[in-house]
């Protein structure tokens, strides 16, 4: 296969393709650690293969689990003591910062940020700071109420528009733009529509557009020869396809490319839940019950296999474990014997819950590598389409874990020629 020339604008000496290859090989090498879902698979093969590693995580306290979940570098260092190849994590996931630390001036002042959650305001400001200066009309893809569009507007001499399919959000966004005198117009538009006519010569931007939506933006931008495209992807798993289809020729053509299911893709964005304490407690309790019922149903059916149970009516969470089991058994057409020892199975669920938490921790080490593997595929695609690509973070992980930004400028466009990057 002939490869296009390596891009000139990414960090260090390593090309995106080399970085993608290294990540791909590493993820393939360790697939046993991240592919099985701990909730449905109590005995993943890696526990037998690396018993010392399994014991090490089994002995972690809840506090350690939380601390390590928030600090993937420390997690890699710890797990890397038993499995040294895991220490490559840091080097494999390093990307440049596309921000200088002070997004201040680019952030919409609070008095103008009506209806804009605080984090969204800061994320939009950081995004704007990372892609300024702006040289073209701007199109905000899946813009919601146009928070990003309104943030970019003061920095853009041309027109700023947005596509969003929710009529209510478009109306709200246009009302806000009118109220604050922003030169922003949002249009009600399904971006997946085949008949969508892409405006010409616009700079496409998207903050947290989900799976197929950002992939459609890339394809439409490349096809329409847009001069620039800047987006931070999210929810990679929101796709019509059962298996991830690499977008770039190089990732798609590699014989050892990872084959990822939608469920695997979900891991890239799986975060520790930041819901209020009371909600978290309820969710955990139901998870324990589900795991308890799982043990019970395996025993009753004499089949050591997970049985998916549909989502439960909210009121059920206020009852007890036995009530949950009766409901779940009915749903699955199982008969519960009168002598069922609910206390035993409830304790089983608690034990499994602790185990799942620790196996999930190991799996969580692979979230960022998977995400970067995907985003590098996007960077490769855009290179193949004649763009110079920057890939890095636009803000701290604390502001949003979805902090990767792709900024692609069509080779030979004014922005590139003027050396503004
Ligand atoms: C995660 S939100 C991001 C919104 C906005 N970019 C922001 O950061 O505030 C995704 C947005 O995409 C919109 N959306 C989903 N599917 C769409 C489609 N097919 N066409 C246009 N907009 C769509 C949703 O209504 C939602 O507003």
pLDDT computed for residue 277 by the predictor: 80
If DSSP states are collapsed to H, E and C, what string results for 55-122? HHHHCCCHHHHHHHHHCHHHHHHHHHCCCHHHHHHHHHHCCCECCCCCCHHHCCCHHHCCCCCHHHHH
CA 247 – ligand 1 centroid, Å: 21
pLDDT bin (cut points 50, 70, 90) of residue 6 is very low
Report residue 387 CA to chain centroid gap: 24
CA 185 – ligand 1 centroid, Å: 16
CA distance 206 to 214: 8
The stretch 342-365 carries a mean pLDDT of 97
The stretch 283-287 carries a mean pLDDT of 92
CA 144 – ligand 1 centroid, Å: 5
Question: Which of 165, 170, 189 has most ligand 1 atoms within 8 Å of CB, for mutation?
Answer: 165
Question: What percentage of the chain carries pLDDT values higher than 90?
Answer: 87
**85 within a domain of the structure (yes/no):** no
pLDDT computed for residue 275 by the predictor: 67
Q: Are 177 and 185 in contact (CB under 8 A)?
A: yes
Does any ligand 1 atom lie closer than 6 A to the CB of residue 169? yes
Residue whose Cα lies nearest atom 4 of ligand 1: it is 144
Question: Residue 293 to residues 284, 285, 299, 320, 332: CA-CA distances in angstroms?
Answer: 14, 12, 10, 12, 11
Does any ligand 1 atom lie closer than 6 A to the CB of residue 239? no
pLDDT computed for residue 278 by the predictor: 83
pLDDT computed for residue 358 by the predictor: 97
**300 within a domain of the structure (yes/no):** yes
Each residue's pLDDT tens digit, 62-94: 999 999 998 999 999 999 999 999 999 999 999
25-34, 129-138, 266-275, 317-326: least confidently modelled range: 266-275
Question: Residue 336 to residues 189, 318, 332: CA-CA distances in angstroms?
Answer: 52, 21, 11
Q: Determine the structural domain holding residue 309 and report its residue range.
A: 277-363
pLDDT bin (cut points 50, 70, 90) of residue 53 is very high
**161 within a domain of the structure (yes/no):** no
**322 within a domain of the structure (yes/no):** yes
Compute φ and ψ for 306, nearest 5 degrees: -70, 140
Does any ligand 1 atom lie closer than 6 A to the CB of residue 143? yes
Q: Collect all residues with Cβ–Cβ distance below 8 Å to 298 and sequence separation of at least 6.
A: 304, 305, 307
Could you tell me which residues are beta bridge partners of residue 207? 232
**224 within a domain of the structure (yes/no):** no
Question: Residue 16 to residues 192, 366, 395: CA-CA distances in angstroms?
Answer: 28, 19, 21
Does any ligand 1 atom lie closer than 6 A to the CB of residue 215? no
**58 within a domain of the structure (yes/no):** no
Instruction: Indicate if the pLDDT at residue 404 is higher than 80.
Output: yes
CA distance 197 to 183: 22
pLDDT bin (cut points 50, 70, 90) of residue 5 is very low
In ligand 1, which atom is closest to the CA atom of 190?
20
CA 163 – ligand 1 centroid, Å: 8
E-assigned strands of 125-213? 137-141, 160-164, 184-188, 202-210
Q: Collect all residues with Cβ–Cβ distance below 8 Å to 148 and sequence separation of at least 6.
A: 124, 127, 128, 140, 205, 206, 207
What is the number of structural domains in the chain? 1
**302 within a domain of the structure (yes/no):** yes
CA 141 – ligand 1 centroid, Å: 8
**345 within a domain of the structure (yes/no):** yes
CA distance 167 to 145: 10
pLDDT bin (cut points 50, 70, 90) of residue 274 is low
Could you tell me which residues are beta bridge partners of residue 233? 209
Each residue's pLDDT tens digit, 312-353: 998 999 999 999 999 999 999 999 999 999 999 999 999 999
pLDDT bin (cut points 50, 70, 90) of residue 1 is very low
pLDDT bin (cut points 50, 70, 90) of residue 104 is confident
Does any ligand 1 atom lie closer than 6 A to the CB of residue 205? no
pLDDT computed for residue 359 by the predictor: 97
In ligand 1, which atom is closest to the CA atom of 206?
6
Does any ligand 1 atom lie closer than 6 A to the CB of residue 207? yes
The stretch 348-370 carries a mean pLDDT of 97
Does any ligand 1 atom lie closer than 6 A to the CB of residue 144? yes
Could you tell me which residues are beta bridge partners of residue 407? 230, 390
Q: Are 348 and 291 in contact (CB under 8 A)?
A: yes
Does any ligand 1 atom lie closer than 6 A to the CB of residue 165? yes
Q: Quick one: which of 219, 284, 278 has its CA closest to 247?
A: 219
Instruction: Indicate if the pLDDT at residue 152 is higher than 70.
Output: yes
């Amino acid at each position: 296969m002939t490869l296009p020339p390596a891009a000139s604008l990414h960090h260090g000496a390593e090309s995106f393709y080399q970085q993608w290859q290294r990540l791909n090989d590493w993820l393939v090498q360790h697939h046993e650690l991240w592919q099985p879902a701990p909730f449905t698979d109590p005995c993943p093969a890696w526990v037998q293969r690396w018993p010392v590693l399994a014991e090490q995580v089994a002995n972690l306290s809840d506090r350690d689990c939380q601390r390590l979940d928030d600090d993937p570098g420390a997690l890699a260092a710890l797990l890397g003591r038993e499995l040294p190849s895991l220490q490559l994590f840091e080097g494999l996931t390093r990307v440049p910062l596309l921000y200088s630390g002070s997004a201040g001036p680019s952030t919409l002042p609070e008095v103008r940020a009506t209806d804009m959650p605080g984090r969204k305001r800061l994320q939009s400001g950081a995004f704007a700071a990372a892609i300024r200066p702006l040289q073209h009309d701007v199109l905000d893809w899946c813009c919601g109420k146009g928070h990003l569009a309104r943030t970019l507007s003061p920095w853009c001499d041309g027109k700023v528009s947005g596509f969003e399919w929710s009529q209510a959000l478009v109306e709200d966004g246009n009302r806000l733009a009118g109220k604050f005198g922003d030169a922003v117009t949002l249009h009600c538009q399904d971006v997946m529509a085949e008949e969508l006519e892409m405006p010409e010569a616009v700079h496409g931007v998207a903050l947290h557009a989900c799976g197929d939506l950002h992939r459609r933006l890339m394809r439409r931008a490349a096809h329409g020869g847009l001069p620039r495209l800047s987006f931070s992807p999210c929810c990679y798993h929101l796709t019509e396809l059962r298996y991830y289809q690499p977008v770039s020729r190089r990732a798609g053509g590699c014989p050892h490319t990872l084959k990822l299911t939608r469920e695997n893709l979900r891991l890239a964005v799986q975060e520790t839940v930041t819901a209020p304490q009371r909600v978290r407690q309820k969710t955990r309790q139901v998870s324990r019950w589900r795991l308890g019922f799982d043990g019970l149903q395996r025993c009753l059916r004499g089949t050591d296999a997970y049985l998916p149970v549909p989502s439960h009516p909210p009121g059920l969470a206020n009852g007890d474990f036995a009530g949950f089991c009766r409901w779940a058994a009915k749903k699955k057409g199982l008969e519960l014997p009168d002598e069922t020892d609910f206390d035993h199975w409830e304790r089983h669920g608690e034990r499994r819950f602790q185990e799942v938490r620790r196996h999930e921790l190991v799996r969580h080490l692979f979230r960022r590598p998977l995400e970067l593997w995907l985003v590098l595929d996007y960077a490769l695609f855009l290179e193949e389409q004649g763009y110079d690509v920057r890939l890095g973070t636009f803000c701290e992980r604390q502001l949003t874990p979805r902090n990767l930004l792709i900024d692609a400028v069509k080779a030979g466009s004014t922005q590139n020629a003027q050396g503004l990057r």
